[in-house]
A = this chain, B = another copy of it.
Amino acid sequence: MAAAPASSNLQVVGGGAKAAAQESPCDDCAIRETSVCEVLDPPQLARMRAIATILRLEPGATLFQESDPAEHLCNVVEGAVKLYKLLPDGRRQITGFLFPGDFLGVALNKSYAYSAEAMTNVRLCRFSRNKLEGLLTELPNLERRLLEVAGNELVAAQDQMLLLGRKTARERLASFLLMVSRRAAARGRPASPVDLPMSRSDIGDYLGLTTETVSRTFTQLKKQGTIGLPSQSKVDILKRAELEEIAEAG
């Protein structure tokens, strides 16, 4: 870990607007065109930047825990984050994975409905909820954009309910691989081979399966030639049409 010796998991590199402007001026922000910021004109963007702080996290670092007061919202600039809920006995459901350009906390609720943890080195652009809510009133296009993002998340959540409630293990994994591939493509990265920054057990907890079942199902799809597994964290989508067929029915 080059930059700063880890004193805590949550390191603020610089503080406030100045640091943000220094470290990541919006001008050459890699995710500007895909994040919520895309709807802002230059003066509006300046106002967003003024309340933003850049944050770096190491793999495994916790951003916040379920039921913590929701003080911050963020844009993921780089890296990958997982969101999850726990039952008292430790069972876990991962409710989402965030990649660069994704927005964390659209719900605008008083407290977080899930915990969030960095899966890789992560760079975030963070806003205080209060300040952002204040800005919303003055930037109606941003508010409209948040509503749009919330709508997209709702649609994704409903797809996930269908997956969790009614799909088989094969169908779940196929759907998952296609989702990751599509989202990679949306960020301008190759749709295949797909990079999986999460462990098998994370995938299981996202799909409502066990590690073992995920692993077995990977092997099965590989044996039938639908996918290739060049490494543990890479998946070649060899027959996309077949994968889509599996994802949608049997």
Contact = CB atoms under 8 A, between A and B. Distances in A.
Contacts of A136: 144
A84 to B, nearest CB: 9
A161 B160 contact: yes
A158 interface: yes
Interface string A94-117: 010000000000111100011000
Nearest to A136: B144
Interface residues of A, number: 45
Contact of A165 (B106, B137, B155, B164): B164
A198 to B, nearest CB: 15
Contact of A208 (B87, B89, B107, B165): B165
Interface stretch (A21-29, A119-127, A145-153, A185-193): A145-153
Contacts of A113: 154-155, 158-159
B107 A151 contact: yes
